[in-house]
Amino acid sequence: MAHESDTVRYGESGLPIEPVYGPRALDGWDPERRLGEPGGYPFTRGVYPSMYTGRPWTMRQYAGFGTARESNARYRQLIAHGTTGLSVAFDLPTQMGHDSDTPIASGEVGKVGVAIDSVEDMRVLFGGIPLDKVSTSMTINAPAALLLLLYQLVAEEEGVPADRLNGTVQNDVLKEYIARGTYIFPPEPSLRLTADIFRYCRAEIPRWNTISISGYHMAEAGASPAQEIAFTLANGIAYVRTAVAAGMDVDDFAPRLSFFFVSRTTLLEEVAKFRAARRIWARVMREEFGARDPKSLMLRFHTQTAGVQLTAQQPEVNLARVTVQGLAAVLGGTQSLHTNSFDEAIALPTDKAARLALRTQQVLAYETDVTATVDPFAGSYAVESMTDDVEEAALALMRRVEDMGGAVAAIERGFQKEEIERNAYRLAQETDAGERIVVGVNRFQLDEEEPYEPLRVDPEIEARQIERLDRLRARRATRTVTTALDTLRKAAEGTDNVLPPMREALRARATVGEVCEALRGVWGTYVPTDAF
C-alpha cells in the first residue's frame, strides 16, 4: 500500500528506517483484525497513513494566568520559541461562569488561568496574534459556547472570517460531574447546549473541533487507563446520541469530535490505552451509529502529560517524567501534545520551565527516530497483548454504564466517581506502602530540599480586573445589553439554538457572568446528589 510519505530516513548507522512496517508471521496473530493499515479501520495503528513521517504532531503549551495582557505576552513567547498551537487556561471564576467582581470570585481571579469577563478581555488576550494562522485550544466546559463566541467576535474585529478559524473548545461537561466540578447547569440543558454548539459550528465555524471529550481530568482524579478510556468513550456516546436525537446526521458533526487523554510514566500501558481507544471508538461509530464518513470513525486526540505525577520534591526530576510521558503519547499516536513544566507541582510555570517543556517536544520530534516510521510498536508481543487487555477491561466498564441507562444515568448514580475513587485509594495505599515507587517521595529522597523561587501572581490583579469591569459597564449601552439578554432567555426557554442570541449579547458587551446568570435563571444550577 502506498503511503503519504514514503521517504526513507536513515539512522546514525546509515541503515534505512522504513516509513511503515507490516506484520510478519507471528503465532496466533490475525493481522487484519488486530491491526489493519495505518490510517485504515479500525485505526489501531493511527488515524493517518503517514502519521509523523509527514509532519510532527501539533505542539501546544497550556498557558494562561493573571490578566489577559500577561497571558498574551506568554503566548507570544511560546510562538517565538516554536509552539504551533495555543492552549488557553481560564481562571476558576471564568470556568464557573462568574464575573471577576462577584463575591464568590474573591481570591481566585487570575490564579489558575486567565480572567476573561468580556469581549474586551478576549481582544487583549489575542492581541497581535494572527487568528487565521494559529490553532487555539480553549479548556473551558460549562461556558464553552461563550468563550468560543468571544473568540469569533475578536476574529471578526480583526477581519478574519469564521470559516478560517481553527481550534478546539473542550466543551465536555459530563466529565465535570464525574471528576472536576466546574459545572453550572444540570445535565439535560448542558447536553442541549453541546448540541447547539455542534449545529452552530457546522454552519458558522466549520473547521472548529466542537468538543474535546476528556479523560484527562478523570485520570488526574485517580482513574486507571481502562477507566479513563471507558468513561470518556461512554461520555462520547452520550454526546453523539444527544446530537442525533436533536435531528443531526452523525456524519455532519462526528468528524469534528476530538478527545483529550493523559499520558503517564507507564509507557507501555499508555501506548496500549491509546491504541485500544481508537479501536473501540471506530467500532462504536460504525456499528451503533452507522457512520459512513471515515473521518467520523477516527478518534483524534490531544494529550497532556500527567500533572498528578509531578512532584514538589526534587522538581527537576519532573523533566525526566515529562519526557517519558511525552514519548508515550507520541508512540501512542497523539495528534497534539502539551508537556507540563517541571515546576507545576509548586506554582504556575516560569518562563524558563515553559520553554524547557516545549524543548522536550522538539527533541522528541527532531532528535529521535520515532517520527521516522508509523506506529513503531506495532507487532510488539507485549504491546499487542496489553492493547487487547485494556480494550477488554474498558469494554466491560462501558457495558456496566450501558446497563445503568448510559453515561448520564450512571453519573446520577455516582458510578464513575465511585469507581475512580476506589482506584485512587488503591494507588495511594500502594504508594504509602512503598509498593509503588515515586522517586524523591518514598524512595531516593534528599535530606533537605533545594530552594526554588516559583512564579507568583500579582495580588493586585483582582482589583485591576474589577476596575476594567466597572469601566465596561459605564461605557456600554445598558438598554441594548438588557434587550439582548432577554432575547437569550426566550431562546433558552424554547428550542431555538441559543448561540446566535448569546453572540449578540456578548457583542453588546454583556459579560460572561451576566450571560451565564441569564441561563441559570431558565435552566437552574446543578446540585450533586452527594451534596446533601
Contact 274, 332 (CB under 8 A): yes
- 47 with 95: CB under 8 angstroms? no
What pLDDT sits at residue 152?
A: 98
List, for residues 212-239, the tens digit of each pLDDT value. Answer: 999 999 999 999 999 999 999 999 999 9
Compute the average pLDDT of residues 493-499. Answer: 97
pLDDT tens by residue, 104-130: 999 999 988 999 999 999 999 999 999
pLDDT in tens, 345-366: 998 888 899 999 999 999 999 9
What are the tens digits of pLDDT across the range 502-516? 999 999 999 999 999
| Residue the block writes with cell 515529562 | 322
Per-residue pLDDT band for 2 (boundaries 50, 70, 90) equals very low
What cell does 358 get?
516545549
**pLDDT at residue 4 tops 70:** no
Q: What's the pLDDT at 3?
A: 44
pLDDT confidence bin for 12, thresholds 50/70/90:
confident
- Main-chain dihedrals φ then ψ at residue 493, nearest 5 degrees: -70, -25
Widest CA span in the chain: 75
Rounded Cα–Cα distance for residues 360 and 497 (Å): 43
Q: Is the pLDDT of residue 29 over 50?
A: no
Say what the pTM is.
0.91
CB 187 within 8 A of CB 229: no
Angle at 32 between CA 26 and CA 38, to 5 degrees: 100
Q: What is the mean pLDDT of residues 167-176?
A: 96
- Domains delineated in the chain: 41-432 (3.20.20.240), 461-526 (no CATH)
Name the average pLDDT for the chain. Answer: 93
Q: How far apart are CA 317 and CA 449, in angstroms?
A: 13
Place 451 in a pLDDT band, splitting at 50, 70 and 90. Answer: confident
- Average pLDDT estimate for 280-303: 98
